[in-house]
Structure 1
Amino acid sequence: MKKIHYILSGIIAFFLILLTLLPFLFKDKIIARLDREIAKTVNAQVNYDLEKIKISLWRKFPNLSVTVSDFSIIGNPPFQQDTLLNLEELGINFNLISVLFDENPSLTSLELNGGSFYIKVLEDGIANYDIFYSEEEQAEKDDENQVKVAVNSISVQGVNFVYDDRSTNYFMGLTDVQAKGSGDFTSETFSLPITMAAEVRDIRYSGISYLSQKHFEGITTLEVDLSQMEFYISEGNFILNDFGFNLSGLIAMPKEDIDLDLTFSSPGHDFKSILSLVPGMYTESFSDLQTSGTMDFQGFVKGVYNETTYPAFELGLKIENGMFQYPELPKPVRNVNLDMLIKNESSVLENTSVSIPNFNLDFGSNPVSGKFLLADLIHFPIDANLKGVLNLDELTSIFPIKGMDLKGIVDISASAKGKYDSVKKEIPLMDIQLALSDGYAKNQEYPSALENLFARARIKNEKASMQDFDVDIPQFGFDLEGESIQGKLNLRDLDQLIWKGEITGGVDLKKVLSVFPVEGLNLEGKIKADLVSQGSYAAVEAKNYNQLFIQGTLEVEDFSLISEDIPQGVKISKAKAAFSPATLVLSEFDAVLSQSPLQATGNLTNYMDYFLNQNGVLKGDLNLQSSKFDINEWMRAPSPNSNSTSLAVFELPKTIDFTMSVAAEEVLYDNLSLKEVKGKLILREGVLIFSDASMKTLGGTLVMKGNYDPRDIHVPKFSFDLQVIELSIAEAFAKFNTIKAFAPISENLTGKFNTSLKLSGNLGQDMMPILSSLNANGLLQVLQTALKDSQILHGITSLTRLKDTNTLQFNNLSIPISIENGIMDVKPFNVRLWDYQAQVQGAAGFDGSMNYLIQMNVPAGKFGTQATGLLASLTGNAIDQNTPIPLAFNLTGNYKNPKVSLAGGNSIETILADALKSRVQGETKALQDQAKEQFAVIQDSLKQELQTKATMVQDSLKKEVEKQTNLVKEKASEEARKILKGFLPKSPPTTKPDTTVKKENLKL
């Protein structure tokens, strides 16, 4: 018996050891197969670390479990900046028997744990999840059988999910998604039980948020028929916050359309559950909320959904005798009764009707009741009324309003009946009256309160016509610490929009925001107004400004503004403007924009048209002065991959027409300090025009006229006429990228230069000139300069063995310059190099490449012993020590690595012999012409190469602009992203990236 016990124990121990060792024995095989399958299947950048792959039999026994940590997939262009999938842990489980005995193991289940899943669809329908090779492409890549897919379960734990579809303007953001489904995924028909849970951060469509900050749970069984693309929800129980509902029916996608046949209802009839969907009510104390009453919710969706057709639908909600009361507050909301039906029996969304024949509720002792009937969304036939009185002090004893004390009586009575027809100029009959009296609002964190809040308003239309429409606010105002604001306004005739209003008084903005704080806004200052205005929008449209009247003054003191849009901050110590019908006169304006002081005076005209007409143009004539203005503070934007900032393109308004005289002691732009800046700026039709502008910088003076044109924000343009007077060559090289590219020799030059230059081209998104787009024409003048320690000079010395050629002096140098599409062409010009007469010509490219021909005549005696023997062997009066020897140098490569060679590739000895003999034979000119012909061939080749490279650069920049465009489009969902701050995946680690990217993608 003991022997059998030992045998059994040994067998068990053997199997335990075997189970422990098996993962190590098959690890290389599994990883290699996994890597191969990804490479065959996924056309994207897949990242994972081989060192972080774990294999175990114990974790999912009897299956073999493979766990991959820090797994991510990055999309292809234009999604190379987006991480499609970023998982803390990816679990892949295989059938153990298939691992042991089959060439291709069977995949049984998948686990996605932690991380983010980000789906993006652009306006043109391109999606970042389109990363898989087709079956044909997979077959071409590998004719082996793939991993057998026999998945019977998929689980998701703690994954965040974003679906951002720009083509349909739909956005959904979920966090902490938990889901599990199991079924025979290899079959065309199977049952799929699913459990799921998530936090709904935001669901929006066409800019309207329909669900936000809600908790969702669900359990259902999905009957799947993949051959017919039909999905039947046989049982579906879901909970949104505390609101439970059932959902069942069919979703079919036979082709492009979606067929829907769904019904939904609430299994419970507890009024409390529907309250959980009311914003602000579903808090930690919701479970303690005291409620009573019944609720019934049901509806259906049936029909076809596509781009032009909507399914029929119906949604009904009925509440009877509802009541709720917060346990910590003394008064309840009672008698909540609502009967609502929203339906559409057709396939046209505009035929939707809304019926609320009655609703009522009591806020404490204050009843509110009404009805709302809307027949369709075409002419909006409406029959509605609302009546109630609210005691704000009593309201705070019903709803928890933390940190705020409210008082006052709000009385509202409203009715509307009729339809809207813009052609017939009909609107519903209306009578809406609103009154606020004895108003009081106090933030408990601020000692003072807004007092004596009052307002009366009436909107009426007794003849159902736009002309009879009338809004009358005979009085409104409030007091705050001894200061008060009062006013009145009348607006009538929706066709003519005739107004008459006035406002007087002063207010301290900091005190107002202390009572009603606004997140992300820091606002201070005192505003005093005394304004009266009357007129009509019809007069504005007809530009009959003489029919408009506005009179009065507006004063601002100690104003300060910091917001998310203006983080630099604006401070106005004093500003005063006087209004008349024709002109707004700015008599005083003393401000600091960020750290830059600015004073201004002037006048604005056409301001009524600008404020009241969408296309109105504000005209102005301003005088601007500053002791030191830093432009960089208003042009810098965060760099994509760092915390630093760089210059960014800024758009100019097209509805501003300003002429500005500017005088500044110093202006900072990029890395330049500009002194004594003065000139005239004209902002017109979105273009900034410089006229008679002058400034001192880099030891000299710049005078210019031209324009900055960002109307195409992706490819902004510039054009300038420049006059440069005595600018430092060395400092200009250090500050200007254009000089570094086209005249890198400036790095080793001393002295100053003058130039007159016409310059134009495109700007990149960093506000730097795109060198391959530059065009220029002008003349460069250098009075005196010296060149030392240049690689070019060393090359000439090495070739010729001439003495004293390591230093070069220039006097009265004039160089004609022309640049076309980033290629600088230097026409032949004469210059003395050392003591020798020379001619220089050539070209330089935006990429720093160059090709120059230098021709000069050197007396034969300067070559020393190299020429002595040759001179002795030749006879004739024409040949002596002063006989000029023509030399031609080809200068190619780039300035950091120049290539200096003698034309024709001969040695200096050969050139001397040929030159001296040619002097006898009269062939000197033939040698010079030959050098020029050889140079011209090289020149044409270089220009062609540069032109091709410029085209490639421009194409590359276009792709970059497309990427920038996509980044700009991100702003469409910026508000939702703020809700999901910290939610989107970060860039994954690049350790041991997988090589599943197409080779052509590697060139981008």
Structure 2
Amino acid sequence: MEKTNTNRWKKILKWSFIVLGLLIISLFAIPSLFNDVISNEIKKGINSNLSTELQFKDSNISFFNHFPSLTFSFEDVNLASAKPFEQDTLINAKELGFGVNVFKLIFSDKVVITETYLTDSNIYLIKDAFGRSNYDIYKTTDTTAVAKDTTASDLNLNLRRLKLENASIHYIDNDNGLTFSSNGLNYNGRGGIVDGKLELGSRLDINSVNITFNHTDYLSGKKIEAKAFTIYDTENLSVALDKNSISLNDLKVNFNGNLDVFDNGIAYNLHFKTEDGSLEKVMSALPPKYSDWSKAVTLKGDLDATFNLAGYSGTVPEASAVDKMEVDVTVANGTIKHDNAPQALEDLQLKFNGDITNDNINFKVDHLDFTLNNERTQGDLIINGTSDSLYVKSAIQSHLNLDILNETLNLPDLKFNGILVTDITTDGVYKPLSSKLPKTKGAFKLTSGLLQTSGHPEPIRDIELDALIENTGETYEASTLTINTLNFSFLGNQFTSTAFLKNFDQPEYDITSKGAIDFTALNDVIDLPLVITNGQLTADMHLKGQLNNAQAENANSGTLNLKNLAFTSEMLPYPVVISEGQFLFLNDKMAFTNLAVQHQSSHVLMDGYFRNYMDYALYSKGILTGDLQLKAPKIDITEFFPKEAQLTAQTDSISNSNTVENVVSGVMQIPKNVDLAIKVIIDTLDYNKLNITKLSGDLGIKDQGLFLKNSTLNMVDGSAKIEGFYQPTSTQEALFALNIDAKQLNIEKGYNSMALFKELAPAAAQASGIVSVTYELTGVLDDTMLPVMPSLKGEGILKVHDVKFDGYKLLGKVSEKSGFDALNDPKVSEITINSTVSNNVLAIEQFKFKVSPFRLRAEGQTSFDGDLSLKMRIGLPPLGLIGIPVVIEGTSDDFEVKLGKKSKDLSSEEPDDTSAVDAQLEDISKRKDSLRDSQSVNKINTLQNDINEIKSDSIN
């Protein structure tokens, strides 16, 4: 019996060694037997699917690289980026490996890839400012062709596992100002198809990650761990995130939700919740300067936070079209104290929650409470409603020694001092359309204040603010704001101000300001909520009166000096710089002298005065009126058009290249609530290729429109009188009207510099000489500031004084058909041509001209799409009583000349909303005729002299 058992164990061991031997032999034999098959199929599959070149030093196949998987590996890999970044590397790696299904390989000769490995790699991802990426390396193919090719191929990509070991990823998104880099990234993703859905579980570990957005570091050297379980429903194009968690240093967050992809849009619904949160853990996840700061700070307190976000982009079903943000945060028993501080901020209690759903706002701070230096700060807040009708209730009381708070927090890059006392209560409805404000009573007082940031070595000193606000009747009329003191000093400049505002519906004001402000340096200290970015301001003024009240006596006086002041505006593509200017206040007028303004390459010098300037500055319906004189050595009008950078392809015989151009992307906007009459004198005005000199006239700005009257100018070697108007109807469209009476124009220069001239007179391309034009034209401009041709309507006269045609195809064919050589490249003079423009067609009335020895008569139509329908009569010598009729039909590139008497009318193209456009044009034209002319230069100068002569003591 014992011998039988011994024999049995011998047989088991024998066969075990045999099987083990066979397995070991297989581990070496299978790679050798199938090396060529696997290598050829993988290389062929890569080359057929990638548009860039994959280079490698060597390749091998083994069970031991990623045991027990049979792995085909490329060694020392370099994959080039997609065009136009083909000179850059997308991926370099020590190994790019593909795990092969052994059973499929042995029993079906199919190479099935189930795993992909990338080891010791550097991945460089780039997206430039035009949205082009270097990682778009897959060849685009027809889906049907792909399906057929996959069936026929011996390579099957069935990626159930992706593994990255020790990867460094560098992502630069210039389009959105985002930079991401990580080191020591390890990723392991596994999955499979269950019930027709792809389920993937993954684990991610990153030793160090850095994220910069808009030049601000948000993560620097952070460690990230993440687990995720994701379900992809390819049939319904949705992604469900389930059982996901991420650890950012010590802070752990669980999240789930879903992403739904529709034909023309995407909808998402995501939920985040902290797990075992605390203030200390939150601080470890903050941007680097705060995480370093937190190491020297005692942080205690429990934190519980949830955040839900739902939204969509594009077009989605109504049930998914939800914009919603929910937040719920609770901080309990909080303590904050820097190691070097003598006192702590204690008993921090904070609880707030709320949501914003579409236009509905619901926000509540149950309590904010903390103690510092035995002084308590507490407050609460409720906001509920919509943006145009909002219920607000709040109460906040504090007595803070900012010196102690500064020591307690010792925040990086920020220092502040002073004593802050607040006591503000608010309860009621904010409804601006009905002039309603909540009942409010509040006091805000800051003494001995100081503020310093890392942006500038000098602090803002001696900050004093004492303000009271009160509303007793829940209306604008019942509101008052009193600023008893507003003082500060910066860089040795002292600025003081007081203000009183009463009745916000029709404000009564009393404002005094004196001192200097250096905005250039001040913007380095703090981000000002102003459009002023640079420059200096010096003020000494007292403004007192009431807005929108003709009976009120305004007693405004003083001066305001500007130097190198730069500001931005949404209506202008470039900053505006006032290099020098002085404003003088006298009652209802504000005069200005030598106001030197620059916008890009355009320079102007202005003198004049404004009325209603306080209404315009403080009152939402106030209209700024004024008379100005504007002189300019040069203005480039195209610099005022909205522009955006676009990529433009340029092709020549040598190479194809891409250039960046700032192209017009909208119509020029005109400010609201402005009524100005401007006397214009411009030495040079550039408009695309058109150069205008010695322009003078009256320019009116009113009702968001530009109106030009009584203007004269020189262009294309001639002179002209021009009147017209321009008014945007949206950001993408504008109306215009132009009345021009031009004399002795050089037809060749006019054709080369005026886009509209090319459309109205295409024959001028083969002509040279002198013409005069009298024309009235109205129409619509598109988002490139060019006319919408079907919208043009007008009529006028073209007078040909002395014109020579050279290679004019139309007359050349007429000459060839008739056999009269004199009609080929003729020279003509003193012709008067009347025409009308409507619905994309230029209709030419009958006109006569002479080409010796013939007398000709012509009329017909041409469309702006290039269609021709003309008829001519060639009167034979001696008196032209006998004539030959000629009909010309076709297009400007391909037309037919034949004998005949009738020609068909061209089909017209009626623009949309013609009646509405016509009504708008007529209304604007009436306003142009009623515009006041600007006051004479003498009147403006007299007014300024009167103000200058006022004694300084009477101003003060």
1:546 aligns with 2:551: yes
2:792 matched residue in structure 1 = 774
1:626 aligns with 2:637: no
Cα distance in 1 for residues equivalent to 2:23 and 2:192: 40
Alignment partner of 2:826: what SS? strand
Residue pair 2:596, 2:606 contacting (<8 A) in 1 also: yes
Letter in 1 for 2:770: K
Cα distance in 1 for residues equivalent to 2:865 and 2:683: 36
Alignment partner of 2:615: what SS? helix
1:763 aligns with 2:781: yes
Quick one: structure 1 residues 181 and 513, their matched pair in 2 at CA, closer, same or farther if it must change by over 3 Å? closer
1:372 matched residue in structure 2 = 379
Cα distance in 1 for residues equivalent to 2:355 and 2:514: 54
Letter in 2 for 1:435: L
1:586-616 superposed Cα distances (whole Å, 9 cap, x missing partner): 3553445544443333332333332223343
Residue pair 2:855, 2:877 contacting (<8 A) in 1 also: no
Cα distance in 2 for residues equivalent to 1:777 and 1:691: 20
1:944-986 superposed Cα distances (whole Å, 9 cap, x missing partner): 4xx57x989x9xxxxxxxxxxxxxxxxxxxxxxxxxxxxxxxx
Which one scores higher on RCO, CA 8 angstroms, separation ≥ 6?
Answer: 1
Letter in 2 for 1:245: K
Cα distance in 2 for residues equivalent to 1:273 and 1:890: 88
2:330 matched residue in structure 1 = 316
Of residues 336, 340, 343, the one that matches 2:350 is: 340
Pairs within 5 Å for 1:547-626: 547=552, 549-561=554-566, 567=574, 569-580=576-587, 582-586=588-592, 589-626=595-632
Of residues 738, 744, 766, the one that matches 1:748 is: 766
Quick one: structure 1 residues 105 and 498, their matched pair in 2 at CA, closer, same or farther if it must change by over 3 Å? farther
2:918 matched residue in structure 1 = none
Of residues 626, 646, 670, the one that matches 1:652 is: 670
1:996 matched residue in structure 2 = none
Q: Tell me the CA shift for residue 551 of structure 1.
A: 0.7
Of residues 219, 224, 227, the one that matches 1:220 is: 227
The answer for unaligned runs of 5 or more in structure 2 is 1-21, 312-319, 386-390, 648-658, 915-956
1:486 matched residue in structure 2 = 496
Q: Tell me the CA shift for residue 697 of structure 1.
A: 1.1
Alignment partner of 2:660: what SS? coil
2:901 matched residue in structure 1 = 932
Q: Tell me the CA shift for residue 742 of structure 1.
A: 4.1
Cα distance in 2 for residues equivalent to 1:797 and 1:346: 76
1:389 matched residue in structure 2 = 401
Residue pair 2:101, 2:114 contacting (<8 A) in 1 also: no
Alignment partner of 1:489: what SS? strand
Letter in 2 for 1:477: N
1:731 aligns with 2:749: yes
1:407-461 superposed Cα distances (whole Å, 9 cap, x missing partner): 8x51122234563345997857755342322758799977x87655434334568
Pairs within 5 Å for 1:204-603: 217-222=224-229, 234=243, 236-239=245-248, 242-247=249-254, 264-266=274-276, 272-276=280-284, 281-282=289-290, 285-286=292-293, 289-298=295-304, 314-325=328-339, 331=341, 334-343=344-353, 353-356=364-367, 358-361=369-372, 369-374=376-381, 377=384, 379-391=391-403, 395=406, 399=410, 410-416=418-424, 419-421=427-429, 427=438, 430-437=441-448, 452-459=462-469, 471-479=481-489, 484-491=494-501, 499-507=509-517, 509=519, 523-535=534-546, 540=547, 543-547=548-552, 549-561=554-566, 567=574, 569-580=576-587, 582-586=588-592, 589-603=595-609
Alignment partner of 2:763: what SS? helix
Q: Tell me the CA shift for residue 624 of structure 1.
A: 2.0
1:184 aligns with 2:191: yes
Letter in 2 for 1:531: H
Alignment partner of 1:747: what SS? helix
Cα distance in 1 for residues equivalent to 2:742 and 2:723: 12
1:276-305 superposed Cα distances (whole Å, 9 cap, x missing partner): 45667435x458x32335332235689999
Cα distance in 2 for residues equivalent to 1:302 and 1:791: 70
The answer for unaligned runs of 5 or more in structure 1 is 1-6, 36-47, 75-85, 122-128, 165-170, 204-208, 861-881, 905-930, 955-1004
Letter in 2 for 1:386: S
Question: Which shifted more, 687-696 or 508-517?
Answer: 508-517
Residue pair 2:398, 2:421 contacting (<8 A) in 1 also: yes
What TM-score, normalized by structure 2, do the two folds share? Answer: 0.70
Letter in 1 for 2:627: D
Quick one: structure 1 residues 400 and 358, their matched pair in 2 at CA, closer, same or farther if it must change by over 3 Å? closer
Residue pair 2:777, 2:793 contacting (<8 A) in 1 also: yes
Aligned length: 818
Residue pair 1:300, 1:313 contacting (<8 A) in 2 also: yes
Residue pair 1:200, 1:215 contacting (<8 A) in 2 also: no
Letter in 2 for 1:389: N
1:695-739 superposed Cα distances (whole Å, 9 cap, x missing partner): 111121121222112223312232212212111112112212233
Residue pair 1:891, 1:898 contacting (<8 A) in 2 also: no
Q: Tell me the CA shift for residue 886 of structure 1.
A: 4.1
Larger strand proportion, structure 1 or 2? 2
2:45 matched residue in structure 1 = 30
Residue pair 2:466, 2:485 contacting (<8 A) in 1 also: yes
Quick one: structure 1 residues 312 and 756, their matched pair in 2 at CA, closer, same or farther if it must change by over 3 Å? closer
Question: Which shifted more, 452-461 or 827-836?
Answer: 452-461
Q: Tell me the CA shift for residue 803 of structure 1.
A: 5.0
1:195 aligns with 2:204: yes
Quick one: structure 1 residues 295 and 883, their matched pair in 2 at CA, closer, same or farther if it must change by over 3 Å? closer
Quick one: structure 1 residues 179 and 534, their matched pair in 2 at CA, closer, same or farther if it must change by over 3 Å? farther
Cα distance in 1 for residues equivalent to 2:738 and 2:694: 19
Q: Tell me the CA shift for residue 469 of structure 1.
A: 6.3
Alignment partner of 1:477: what SS? strand
Q: Tell me the CA shift for residue 656 of structure 1.
A: 1.6
Quick one: structure 1 residues 310 and 819, their matched pair in 2 at CA, closer, same or farther if it must change by over 3 Å? closer
Letter in 1 for 2:37: L
1:735-760 superposed Cα distances (whole Å, 9 cap, x missing partner): 12233344333233332112221222
Cα distance in 1 for residues equivalent to 2:228 and 2:731: 52
Quick one: structure 1 residues 461 and 762, their matched pair in 2 at CA, closer, same or farther if it must change by over 3 Å? closer
Identity, in percent, stands at: 13
Alignment partner of 1:730: what SS? helix
Quick one: structure 1 residues 549 and 101, their matched pair in 2 at CA, closer, same or farther if it must change by over 3 Å? farther
Alignment partner of 2:428: what SS? coil
Alignment partner of 1:640: what SS? strand
Alignment partner of 2:41: what SS? helix
Alignment partner of 2:738: what SS? strand
Cα distance in 2 for residues equivalent to 1:549 and 1:323: 54
Residue pair 2:218, 2:287 contacting (<8 A) in 1 also: no
Quick one: structure 1 residues 479 and 846, their matched pair in 2 at CA, closer, same or farther if it must change by over 3 Å? same
Letter in 1 for 2:668: F
Q: Tell me the CA shift for residue 186 of structure 1.
A: 0.8
Cα distance in 2 for residues equivalent to 1:140 and 1:16: 29
Cα distance in 2 for residues equivalent to 1:351 and 1:713: 33
